[in-house]
Amino acid sequence: MKGFKIFVKNNKWNIIILTVITMLMVFVSLYVSKYTKIFFDEGFVNNNISIIKESIFLLMGLYIGLFFLNLIQNYESVKFLYNGMLAIRKEIFKKVLKTDYNYFVNNPTGKIWGEIYTPPNRVGIFYTSLIFLPADIVEAFVYTYIIYKASIVGGIILSLFIPFLILISYYTGKKIRKYEQKMLDSYRAMMGNAMDILSMAKIIKTNNNDDYFLNIFKKNHEDMNNAAISTNVLTTLWENIILIVTALSPLIIIYYGNTHMSSFKLTQGELIVIYIFSPLFFNSYKKIYKKFLDFYGVKPYIKTIEEHLSLEDEKLGENKLNKGNLEIHNFEYNYGNKKVKIPDIKVNKGEKILILGESGRGKSTMFNAIIGILKDYNGTIKIGNKDIKNIDIEDLRKKVKLVHQEGYVFNGTLKENILMELNNISEDEYKKILKILKLEKLEKEKNGIINKDKISGGEKTRINLAQVLLRKPEILLLDETLSSVDEEMEKEILQEIIKAYPDMTILMITHRKSIANFFDKIIEL
């Protein structure tokens, strides 16, 4: 399983430490049983004070040792769990970002995030417990040995409960798997719908249909709740059956030990050992059963993780992008029953092209195809006489940049938003781009710290344009990028961009004809 390999890859030392600690705890338990028996049989029964004192002293030391070993085990387990969850989430996130854009078209944002965040939580806990399986088996063997050493008959009585518990675990596990799948499906639907609802908040409020969408959310959540309740009831039922068996079985053995002492031949020390270690005996087997039970519960989540880790990377192509003309021939794209066609276009290197036309004519579709977001179009798009379908997509997107009308920024400083991964930009270059895009005022306000929810759409798109220009693309695609600023500012910004980047090929979609004189050619679609 890919997920399990990723989970343990960077946690090898944790596994070694946890295994050693668990083995030490089992080893200490052997001595606890030994000195408990000595305390009662040789000390308490014979009223031997020196043996009583020695046994108490040793038992206190052993229990203190167990206390600290438990603390270390818990710390290492939590560390192991969260490191593993991070590794899986990071890898899923990477696969999602590297896959084809159609994945985002076909899956709601909420569903995508839910599948990145939730499955690693559930599966991580299971994988952490799975690491302990060899130690759990050794622990079960040791506690079985302790019980059988105290009394073979008592060990047989306790062992008779094991098949019963296995059957209960198997039946419960199958039921849990069904409800866990329902819970996961409901969670996906709820997350997807919730994200969509929140993104449409303005429209929902305007149309006054809050109740309709609230009922959708409520229905998704109720379905998830019902599945979660059923899972919890089954798990609790299983745990209570084991609890009853664990509580009653040592009492049954002690009862028969007292009434049939001659046939059992049990000493008081052996009876006490059975009483103390019977719960540990059952608990050791319970850990193994629970892994089986947990496997049924997490199976849908494991499947989700494996599906995401198997996402194919976006096809990159093999050729590097050469500088040259942009040519579009026989371009067609189907939106269901609707087909958009673009007439043949040739743009010479360094030309500035204005594209006009009514909405729905395929202008933005063409830009998305040029940048490699849309691939299932008919016709050819060539740059430098090479079909872009054969060009390395990463190289294409380094040299061809698209800035949309909808700007995106994150909370932080203006400089962080613009530079991001760039670390080779001088202060002069940074100040120059602020001046070109009229962002100097935003830089001076509040020490350059911006709140993504409190700046205008025009400011957001100018920040995005600054990001792109500093990366010096050979071809710049502007999809109504400056429609959120007034015409006068748009003219000033365009004039500065064309002056600063004379060799850059620029194609701009707009509805404003007033800026036509800045461009070498106008194309109407």
First and final C-alpha spacing in the chain: 51
**CATH number (domain holding residue 162):** 1.20.1560.10
The domain tally of the chain equals 2
- 10-61 pLDDT tens trace: 777 888 888 888 888 888 888 888 888 788 778 777 778 888 888 888 889 9
The Cα–Cα gap between 253 and 360 comes to 82
Q: Which parts of 348-427 are beta strand (E)?
A: 352-356, 378-383, 386-387, 400-403, 412-413
Q: What is the pLDDT of residue 455?
A: 82
Specify the 3-state DSSP secondary structure of 353. strand
* Secondary structure of 72-114 in HEC code, one letter for each residue: HHHHHHHHHHHHHHHHHHHHHHHHHHHECCHHHHHCCHHHHHH
In this structure, the answer to whether residues 490 and 420 fall within a common structural domain is yes
Point out the domain boundary residue: 256, 275, 309.
309
Residue 112 is assigned to a structural domain of this protein: yes
State the residue range of the domain holding 232.
85-309
Point out the domain boundary residue: 277, 309, 341.
309
The Cα–Cα gap between 433 and 417 comes to 13
Q: What is the pLDDT of residue 240?
A: 84
The Cα–Cα gap between 463 and 448 comes to 12
Point out the domain boundary residue: 284, 309, 334.
309
**CATH number (domain holding residue 350):** 3.40.50.300
Burial of 172 (0-12, 13-18, 19+ CB in 10 A): buried
Q: What is the pLDDT of residue 265?
A: 63
Q: State the CB neighbour count (10 A cutoff) for residue 362.
A: 21
In this structure, the answer to whether residues 204 and 256 fall within a common structural domain is yes
Average pLDDT, 10 consecutive residues per value, the chain (525 residues)? 84 82 84 81 79 87 90 87 89 88 80 84 86 82 83 81 81 79 80 75 70 82 86 83 80 69 65 79 80 80 90 79 87 83 89 86 87 87 88 87 83 85 85 89 79 81 89 90 85 90 90 85 86
**pTM for the model:** 0.71
Residue 187 is assigned to a structural domain of this protein: yes
Given a contact cutoff of 8 angstroms between Cβ atoms, the answer to whether 478 and 509 are in contact is yes
